[in-house]
Structure 1
Amino acid sequence: MDYYGARTKDAAGRVTLETSTMTIRSIVTRQITVPPITSNFTSFINMPEITAQSFVCVTLPNPTDENSILPAVFWSTGQLRVRRGPGMVLNVFILTYQ
């Protein structure tokens, strides 16, 4: 099944992904708990769903909680890296497009 018209925006309201001109091949939603820090204040999480054609969005499960702050999150093919967030629960959305 193809999905059309997905759009994401950053905090300033700028469009960061516009799929009205491309086809979304898959959408994967996962809730993860960040593992302990392994090196340089960073936790590494293997996520084979992340490919070179992926766009990853990470949010907090309860965005209205004023005491929670989203840690810095980076991704590369097959891996998610979280800085200073061990034990936190995060929602991960992976959009893969063609």
Structure 2
Amino acid sequence: MAYYGARTRNAQGGVTLDTSVMTIRSIVTKQVTVPPVTSDFTSFISMPEITSTSFVCVTLANQTNEEQTLPSVFWSTGQLRVRRGAGVLLNVFILTYQ
């Protein structure tokens, strides 16, 4: 099944993903709690759904006020890295495209 029409933008308003020009193969949605941090203030979360052809969006699951901020989140194949976010509940959206 192909999905079309999804578009994401960065903080400056530039388009970072536009599915009107590519086919989305799958969309996976997960809620994860960030585990305790390591010595460099980073938590690692195993996510085998993230492949080299994935685009990942992360939001706060329980944003209770406007001052609550999303920790820094980075992804690579098979994992998320979260800086200074231990115990935070996150919504993770993994879009895999062709």
TM-score range, shorter chain: over 0.9
List alignment gaps of at least 5 residues for structure 2: none
Amino acid in the other structure paired with 1:12: Q
Runs of 4 or more off by more than 2 Å in structure 1? none
Q: What TM-score do the two structures reach when normalised by structure 2?
A: 0.93
Root mean square deviation of aligned Cα: 1.3
Amino acid in the other structure paired with 1:87: G
Identity %: 76
Could you say which residue in structure 2 is the equivalent of 1:38? Answer: 38
Amino acid in the other structure paired with 1:94: I
List alignment gaps of at least 5 residues for structure 1: none
Could you say which residue in structure 1 is the equivalent of 2:57? Answer: 57
Could you say which residue in structure 1 is the equivalent of 2:5? Answer: 5
Aligned residue pairs total: 98
Could you say which residue in structure 1 is the equivalent of 2:73? Answer: 73
Q: How far apart are the structure 2 equivalents of 1:39 and 1:20?
A: 42
Q: What TM-score do the two structures reach when normalised by structure 1?
A: 0.93
